């Protein structure tokens, strides 16, 4: 080939030289001054063209009979025409295509030019996703899409995906968006972000109507990379990071803790002299002296558990991508490996080095003997292998097929921590996190001088040494296999613009685990009697377990598409598509009954002269979770757009160069109404939990048969009626962009359990019915600026979104006061008491409204407001307080600049109008356990006027006076985060000239680096369902990496 090129070139040279033709040389660079390889240089109006070489240089001989103008272009850059009639050497700087008006966006069942979109769709490119060192792709979306609220509720390796809410929530059932990968409903969290080309987020009815019964919560479309025609591109990246907890509770030291515990017992009127009951936390000043000096660490320890049992975790990721192709075959191959370790210290060898353990070892040879690593690995570890092959084959000019294959293998390892069996149980997280908040530092030594495992009475499972290292392990493997075969047939011979395509996908997921649980005997020790009390029985290794829960899914679709332009101004396109989806999983009572969806979908677009746009969408869907006759429904949507800047009357100017107004209205459904239940069938369940028994042995209980939920044949999906108006604009030669969307949604038919029914009729509950109505409205806006000054490029981009919902109807239980109804408030609105300060005297308590019928309220306890004025504080005095756990306002700011080979970017992200409610040990002073800084400022008779925390009591239990949900405990969950910071450096291409390498980029970045928030011991994105903090904490990541292309 090369030889032929040389020969032709020589011939050309000879011939053209003879005709004295012109030879032009030049270089093409980008705005940063970097050489552009592979840019195309074509003489205008001819097919005469060359491509720039590795140095960005080219040489072209002009044809004599054509214009002496060169057209220089490269994908993603603005095309340039250069007149070379008077020059033989040119230097061209190509500008990145900022407007990207020609950008094509993936929409529901198709693609569309961004400029002609009339719905509300946001798009995230591949680069944005790979800039962030996260494991789950969902976390990379944070702050990138206006109107997408993310909440990362766990940092557990392999299980740290974020919850997603598109435009907040409009239903009290599931509000999770529908997620499709390459057009098929699939999970995207564990896809390697290097394999993703783009992500589209569809927000309004116009964009989602085609998803019919499943689109109401919004849709996220993930598109994976495919091969392009051209030279093979090989990209290799490798990165390594370390991880830390974003927030972890730091306990007070032993002496302070002991003092506060003693004070709590004293306040409860308990005996706190050392001769009294140990449960009363007696401690003498001599004990305090020992806590302070650590002279007797076996009886008076001071364990800094966070310091001892946490460590930085690590994260490493490797990815190899190869793509390329020719006219017949295009390919993309991606291979990825990820490994993440946890932040709990499970290695006994490492623990031995910690000063606390080192001291115990030096004091007792028995401890030295006892502290050995077990013969298994209990560490937190997640490993993921991903492989993907996307192939496109052109059979002939009209007919092409595609084969996509993806396989993911995930492997999670963790300490058993007393719960091997429950795969998704937070049980083990509970034990792990709880050790920081439930174990006072002086409660027990981590190990006794005799080498016996140690704990305190009533908290036998809490010793972190045992929990982490000596309870066994659990190892899970998960497999996801996804196969897609598709075809496309261009029917232009039948009718210009007509094509037909189809797709069949088969996915299968399965997994299994192996686990082993054991534990040593646990003892407490009494110094006075020198006696050990055995608390928790040990047992030998057992319960090795394994199981698999396969899920298989099928999907098929067939579409006819039409796309044509008449008279160069009337653009008409449309699609008619039918699909079928079936999913089989072992789940609950209806295991392996396939969940089936079927749909007929249609769309028509009409565009006149790039000025007027109109689009009709409709979905006709069915789902087999409803009764016959209630299975199918029709979901229409219409949208329209107007581009005034394309009007002839609109003056061409340098201020506003593009503007589009758009509006949409339509209906979408949501059938995700809590589990896949067949509410239209009545159910009867066997039970052995009657607690009643017959006969002499009275064991076991009798088996009964319970009348389950009553059937409701009329049950159907939720219906969302959505309106959206938007404005897109580009200003100052597209340096400034500004978009604004207002939306309003009325979600009706929300499935809810009727609260109004008569108990005397004996129905424990009526069947769920479509009774709920929620209104959700808000806006989102984006403002961006980007420009360059010479080789200095910079950009700034801000996003702000607001969504507020209001329950219009919810069929609530009847309430005596109107303000007790959840109706009229947002979903998840907190309810509680209004904190009025601390009681300062017995007289004040006597004069105040009686609180909850409690007779043990004392000065220093909290006082609440009597809302209904009946002289009693009870549940009738609860009012809406704070917000819900889903933020109403989310915002982000992205900033970046690049200069020559350097680039820096950062993202600040935040949320407000959100409330978190930490309870129990992470919210309150702990009954037996740890105390924190804020508890030092508790109420005492001496500090009565300045106290910020109530009187300490020994029993911090729910439903005691101070621990009702109140304005005192709710925390403002607003936060502002340095979500992402990145430094990059590209090795100058010149330095690579003699190597096969095309580029090398070095970078350092971070995630969740810094957080400003009022929430103290836990991350502000804490899981609201684990309000006691029992989950694996979120993490921050410091990461370095290298990317090499060939």
Partner 1 sequence: MKKYIYIISFIALFILPACDFMDEIPTEWHTPEAAFQLETTYERNINQGYAYIRNGYNRINGAFLDAATNDGTATMLNSNIHKLAQGFYNAQSPILNIWNNSYTGIRQTHFTEKYLKEVQLFLNGKTEKDVADIKKEGIAQMWALRALYEFDLLQHYGGYVIIDSYMEISDPRFNTLERSSFETCVNNIVTLCDSAALYLPVKHANFGRMEKGTAMAIKAKTLLYAASALYNRSGNTNPLVGYVNASAVDIENRWKAAAAALNEVINLKNGAVNRYALHANYAALFNATPNQNNEYIVFYATAQGNGLERRQYPPTLSVTSGGGTVPSQQFVDAFTNADGSAYTRASGAAPTYTGRDPRFDMIVGYDGSNYGPRGTIYTRLGDGETNDGLNQVKDFSTITGYYLRKFLNTTINFSVASPGNTYHLFPFIRLADVLLMYAEAMTQAYGFESDPQGYGLTAKQALQMVRTRAGFNAATDQYLAGVTTKDAQLQKIYDERRIELAFEEARYFDLRRWMKTDELSEPIKGMRIDNNAGNLTYTEITVDNQRVFEEKMYFAPIPKNEILVFPALQQNPGW
**Cβ–Cβ < 8 Å for 434, 1030:** yes
Does 702 contact partner 1 by CB under 8 A? yes
The binder of partner 1 chosen from 101, 270, 405, 614 (CB under 8 A)? 270
Q: Single out the segment in contact with partner 1 by CB under 8 A; choices: 106-114, 225-233, 246-254, 555-563.
A: 555-563
Give the footprint of partner 1 on residues 41-70 (CB under 8 A).
none
Closest separation in Å from C-beta 577 to partner 1:
8
Output b/e per residue, 263-278; b: 16+ Cβ within 10 A: bbbbbbebebeeeeee
Does 520 contact partner 1 by CB under 8 A? no
Q: Single out the segment in contact with partner 1 by CB under 8 A; choices: 545-553, 753-761, 879-887, 1027-1035.
A: 753-761
Which letter does DSSP use for residue 708 in this model? -
Q: How many other C-beta atoms are found inside a 10 Å radius of the C-beta of residue 40?
A: 16
Does 277 contact partner 1 by CB under 8 A? yes
Q: Is 773 helix (H, G, I), strand (E, B) or coil?
A: strand
The binder of partner 1 chosen from 295, 329, 494, 569 (CB under 8 A)? 494
The binder of partner 1 chosen from 83, 350, 527, 813 (CB under 8 A)? 813
User: Could you give the angle at the alpha carbon of 445 between the alpha carbons of 443 and 449, nearest 5°?
Assistant: 145
**Cβ–Cβ < 8 Å for 101, 115:** yes
Q: Which H or E run includes 1040?
A: strand 1035-1045
Does 996 contact partner 1 by CB under 8 A? no
Q: Single out the segment in contact with partner 1 by CB under 8 A; choices: 96-104, 423-431, 692-700, 913-921.
A: 692-700
From its phi and psi, is residue 677 left (phi > 0), alpha (psi between -120 and 50) or beta? beta
The binder of partner 1 chosen from 764, 842, 846, 1012 (CB under 8 A)? 764
Give the footprint of partner 1 on residues 422-481 (CB under 8 A).
458
Output b/e per residue, 980-994; b: 16+ Cβ within 10 A: bbbebebbebeebee
Which letter does DSSP use for residue 344 in this model? B
Q: Which is nearer to partner 1, 43 or 621 (CB)?
A: 621
Does 847 contact partner 1 by CB under 8 A? no
Closest separation in Å from C-beta 497 to partner 1:
15
Q: Which is nearer to partner 1, 648 or 855 (CB)?
A: 855
Closest separation in Å from C-beta 816 to partner 1:
7
Residues 682 and 293: their CA atoms lie apart, in Å, by: 68
Residues 446 and 184: their CA atoms lie apart, in Å, by: 52
The binder of partner 1 chosen from 693, 937, 948, 995 (CB under 8 A)? 693
CA within 13 Å, CB half, 713? 2
Does 273 contact partner 1 by CB under 8 A? no
Q: Single out the segment in contact with partner 1 by CB under 8 A; choices: 120-128, 191-199, 313-321, 763-771.
A: 763-771
Closest separation in Å from C-beta 502 to partner 1:
8
Closest separation in Å from C-beta 405 to partner 1:
25
Q: Single out the segment in contact with partner 1 by CB under 8 A; choices: 442-450, 462-470, 558-566, 724-732.
A: 558-566
Q: Which is nearer to partner 1, 11 or 706 (CB)?
A: 706
Closest CA to 532 of 439, 457, 458, 440: 457
700: cis peptide before it, omega within 30°? yes
Give the footprint of partner 1 on residues 928-967 (CB under 8 A).
954-955, 957, 959-960
Q: Which is nearer to partner 1, 706 or 1012 (CB)?
A: 706
Closest separation in Å from C-beta 683 to partner 1:
5
Residues 951 and 963: their CA atoms lie apart, in Å, by: 12
Q: How many other C-beta atoms are found inside a 10 Å radius of the C-beta of residue 807?
A: 22
Q: Which is nearer to partner 1, 77 or 597 (CB)?
A: 597
Does 531 contact partner 1 by CB under 8 A? no
Q: Which H or E run includes 533?
A: strand 531-536
Which residue blocks in 70-114 are alpha helix, DSSP H? none
Does 395 contact partner 1 by CB under 8 A? no
Give the footprint of partner 1 on residues 569-628 (CB under 8 A).
576, 578, 580, 582, 589-591, 593-594, 596, 598-600, 620, 622-624, 628
Give me the 706-725 binding string for partner 1, x by CB under 8 A, dash otherwise: xx--xxx-------------
Give the footprint of partner 1 on residues 850-869 (CB under 8 A).
850, 852-856
Closest CA to 125 of 233, 223, 237: 223
Does 271 contact partner 1 by CB under 8 A? yes
The per-residue DSSP string of 486-526 comes to EEEEE-TTTSTTEEEEEEEEEEEEEEEEEEEEEE--EEEEE
Residues 642 and 950: their CA atoms lie apart, in Å, by: 61
Q: Which is nearer to partner 1, 631 or 971 (CB)?
A: 631
The binder of partner 1 chosen from 496, 698, 733, 993 (CB under 8 A)? 698
Closest CA to 260 of 940, 962, 1028: 940
Closest separation in Å from C-beta 106 to partner 1:
22
Does 681 contact partner 1 by CB under 8 A? yes
Q: Which is nearer to partner 1, 358 or 702 (CB)?
A: 702
Residues 201 and 782: their CA atoms lie apart, in Å, by: 15
The binder of partner 1 chosen from 685, 809, 843, 1014 (CB under 8 A)? 685
Q: Which is nearer to partner 1, 66 or 957 (CB)?
A: 957
**Cβ–Cβ < 8 Å for 27, 91:** yes
Q: Which H or E run includes 436?
A: helix 427-438
Closest separation in Å from C-beta 761 to partner 1:
6
Q: Is 979 helix (H, G, I), strand (E, B) or coil?
A: strand
Does 787 contact partner 1 by CB under 8 A? no
Q: Which is nearer to partner 1, 55 or 624 (CB)?
A: 624
Contacts of 48 (CB under 8 A, 6+ apart): 42, 60, 61, 62, 63, 66
Q: Please tell me the chain's helix, strand, coil percentages from 3-state DSSP, rounded to the nearest 5.
A: 15, 45, 40
Give the footprint of partner 1 on residues 866-925 (CB under 8 A).
874-876
Number of residues counted as binding partner 1 (CB under 8 A): 94
Residues 897 and 1037: their CA atoms lie apart, in Å, by: 22
Q: Single out the segment in contact with partner 1 by CB under 8 A; choices: 18-26, 73-81, 98-106, 694-702.
A: 694-702
Helix/strand number for the chain, H first, E second: 14, 52
Closest CA to 754 of 806, 701, 679: 679
């Amino acid at each position: 080939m090369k030889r032929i090129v040389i020969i032709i070139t020589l011939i050309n040279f000879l011939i053209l030289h003879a005709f004295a033709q012109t030879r032009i040389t030049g270089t093409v660079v980008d705005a940063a001054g970097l050489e552009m390889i592979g840019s195309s240089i074509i003489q205008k109006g001819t097919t005469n063209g060359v491509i720039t070489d590795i140095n960005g240089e080219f040489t072209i001989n002009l044809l004599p009979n054509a214009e002496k103008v060169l057209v220089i272009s490269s994908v993603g850059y603005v095309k340039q025409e250069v007149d070379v009639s008077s020059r033989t050497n040119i230097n061209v700087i190509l500008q990145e295509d900022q407007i990207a008006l020609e950008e094509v966006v993936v929409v529901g069942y198709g693609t569309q030019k961004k400029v002609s979109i009339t719905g509300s769709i946001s798009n995230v490119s591949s680069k944005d996703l790979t800039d962030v060192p996260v494991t789950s792709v969902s976390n990379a979306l944070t702050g990138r899409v206006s109107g997408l609220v993310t909440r990362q509720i766990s940092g557990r390796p392999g299980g740290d995906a974020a919850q997603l809410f598109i435009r907040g929530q409009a239903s009290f059932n599931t509000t999770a968006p529908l997620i499709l990968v390459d057009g098929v409903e699939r999970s995207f969290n564990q896809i390697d972000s290097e394999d993703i080309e783009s992500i589209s987020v569809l927000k309004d009815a116009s964009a989602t109507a085609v998803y019919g019964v499943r689109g109401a919560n919004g849709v996220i479309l993930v598109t994976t990379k495919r091969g392009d025609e051209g030279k093979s591109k090989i990209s290799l990246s490798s990165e390594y990071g370390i991880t830390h907890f974003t927030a972890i509770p730091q306990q007070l030291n032993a002496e302070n803790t002991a003092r506060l515990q003693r004070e709590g017992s004293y306040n409860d009127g308990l005996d706190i002299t050392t001769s009294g009951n140990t449960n009363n936390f007696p401690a003498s000043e001599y004990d305090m002296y020992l806590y302070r000096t650590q002279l007797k660490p076996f009886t008076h320890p001071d364990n800094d558990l966070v310091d001892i049992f946490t460590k930085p975790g690590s994260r490493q990721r490797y990815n190899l991508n190869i793509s390329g192709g020719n006219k017949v075959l295009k390919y993309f191959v991606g291979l990825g490996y990820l490994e993440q370790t946890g932040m709990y210290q499970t290695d006994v060898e490492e623990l031995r080095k910690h000063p606390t353990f080192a001291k115990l070892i030096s004091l007792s040879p028995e401890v030295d003997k006892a502290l050995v690593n077990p013969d298994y690995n209990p560490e937190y570890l997640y490993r993921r292998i991903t492989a993907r092959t996307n192939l496109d084959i052109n059979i002939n000019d009209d007919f092409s097929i595609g084969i996509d294959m993806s396989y993911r293998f995930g492997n999670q390892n963790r300490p058993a921590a007393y719960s091997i069996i429950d795969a998704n149980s937070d049980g083990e997280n509970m034990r792990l996190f709880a050790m920081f908040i439930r174990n006072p530092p002086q409660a027990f030594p981590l190990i006794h001088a005799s080498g016996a495992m140690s704990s305190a009475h009533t908290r036998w499972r809490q010793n972190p040494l045992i929990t982490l290292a000596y309870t066994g392990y659990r190892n899970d493997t998960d497999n996801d296999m996804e196969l897609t075969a598709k075809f496309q047939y261009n029917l232009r011979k039948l009718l210009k613009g007509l094509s037909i395509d189809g797709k069949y996908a088969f996915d299968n997921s399965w997994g299994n685990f192996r686990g082993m649980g054991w534990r040593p005997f646990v003892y407490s020790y009494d110094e006075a009697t020198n006696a050990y009390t055995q608390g928790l029985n040990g047992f030998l290794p057992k319960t090795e377990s394994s199981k698999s829960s396969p899920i298989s899914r099928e999907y098929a679709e067939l579409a006819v598409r039409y796309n044509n332009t008449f008279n160069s101004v009337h653009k008409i396109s449309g699609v008619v598509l039918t699909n079928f989806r079936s999913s089989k999983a072992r789940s609950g009572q209806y295991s392996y009954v396939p969940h089936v969806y079927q749909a007929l979908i249609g769309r028509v677009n009409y565009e006149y002269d790039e000025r007027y746009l109109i689009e009709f969408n409709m979905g006709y869907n069915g789902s087999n979770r409803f009764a016959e006759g209630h299975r199918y429904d029709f979901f229409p949507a219409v949208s329209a757009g107007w581009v005034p800047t394309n009007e002839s009357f609109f003056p061409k100017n340098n201020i506003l160069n593009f503007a589009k107004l758009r509006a949409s209205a339509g209906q979408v459904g949501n059938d995700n109404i809590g589990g896949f239940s067949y509410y239209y069938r009545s159910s009867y369940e066997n039970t052995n939990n009657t607690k009643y028994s017959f006969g002499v042995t009275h064991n076991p209980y009798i088996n009964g048969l319970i009348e389950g939920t009553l059937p409701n044949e009329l049950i159907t999906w939720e219906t969302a009626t959505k309106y959206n108006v938007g404005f897109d604009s580009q200003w100052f030669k597209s340096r400034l962009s500004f978009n604004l969307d207002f939306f309003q949604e009325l979600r009706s038919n929300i499935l809810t359990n009727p609260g109004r029914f008569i108990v005397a009729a004996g129905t424990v509950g009526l069947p769920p019915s479509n009774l709920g109505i929620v209104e959700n409205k808000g806006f989102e806006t984006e403002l961006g600026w980007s420009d360059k000054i010479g080789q200095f490029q910079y950009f700034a981009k801000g996003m702000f979104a607001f969504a507020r919902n209001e329950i219009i109807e919810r069929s609530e239980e009847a309430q005596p006061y109107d303000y007790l109804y959840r109706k009229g408030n947002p979903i998840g609105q907190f309810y509680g008491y209004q904190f009025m300060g601390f009681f300062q005297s017995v007289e004040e308590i006597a004069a105040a409204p009686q609180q909850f019928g409690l007779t043990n309220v004392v000065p220093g306890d909290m006082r609440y407001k009597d809302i209904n004025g009946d002289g009693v504080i009870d549940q009738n005095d609860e009012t809406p307080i704070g917000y819900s756990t889903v933020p109403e306002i989310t915002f982000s700011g992205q900033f970046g600049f690049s200069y020559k080979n350097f680039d820096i970017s950062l993202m600040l992200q935040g949320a407000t109008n959100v409330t978190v409610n930490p309870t129990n040990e992470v919210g309150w002073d702990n009954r037996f356990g740890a105390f924190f800084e804020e508890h030092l400022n508790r109420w005492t008779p001496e500090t009565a006027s300045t106290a910020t925390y109530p009187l300490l009591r020994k029993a911090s239990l729910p439903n005691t006076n101070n621990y009702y949900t109140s304005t005192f405990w709710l925390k403002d969950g607003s936060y502002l985060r340095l979500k992402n910071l990145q430094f990059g450096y590209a090795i100058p291409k010149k330095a690579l000239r003699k190597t096969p390498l095309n580029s090398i980029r070095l970078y350092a970045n971070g995630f969740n680096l810094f957080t400003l928030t009022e929430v103290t011991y836990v991350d502000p994105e804490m899981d609201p369902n684990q309000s006691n903090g029992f989950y694996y904490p979120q993490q921050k990541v410091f990461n370095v990496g290298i990317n090499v292309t060939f």
